[in-house]
Amino acid sequence: MDKKLFELEKGTPTDSHLIAFGKQGETYKNVTIGDFKKKIIEDIPPAPAPEFLTKIVNIGSFDMRNGASKDVYLGVSLNKIRGISVIITANDLATFPIYYPHSNWELSASWRIESTPTNNAKLHFTTNNNRFFDQSGFSGSNNRGYITVTYVE
């Protein structure tokens, strides 16, 4: 089966360990498979790398005690999100990762992205009773931290 590849056609090689290719009406080139592979790779234009954008969203007021939960809308379409990072801020402004472990390595809180609405993704936080964030240092109406969203346009 003969197929055109990058406007090239298969020819008859001059040696059994070579392949021949060229454009119709021109002299065919006899090359090794490795050289042919290099030729194909050189002729394929590189795919453009996606441009990643970053958005910082305030979590807002969130009393994390007693197994509380909170929804935060990210302002980015669900299918464009490529990464999320969450930092929790205590009342004294100390910062912690959302997955900060309790003394027995049980998670103190977690998050998930809800599947709807898709045009304005929603992050749902849940804290766990009797874990690290279930204390007075994470109560009140302070901004509870930040969500960093990495996305593509």
Q: What confidence score (pLDDT) does residue 94 get? A: 93
- pTM as predicted: 0.66
Q: What confidence score (pLDDT) does residue 9 get? A: 54
What region, left, alpha or beta, does residue 93 occupy, with left being phi > 0 and alpha being psi -120 to 50 degrees? left
Q: Which residue type, as a one-letter code, is found at position 106?
A: E
Q: What confidence score (pLDDT) does residue 1 get? A: 47
Consecutive 10-residue averages of pLDDT for the chain (153 residues): 52 65 70 76 80 95 87 94 94 89 77 86 89 87 92 93
Q: What confidence score (pLDDT) does residue 8 get? A: 53
What are the strands of the beta sheet with 145-152, ordered from one edge? 52-58, 145-152, 81-89, 95-97
CA distance 79 to 120: 10
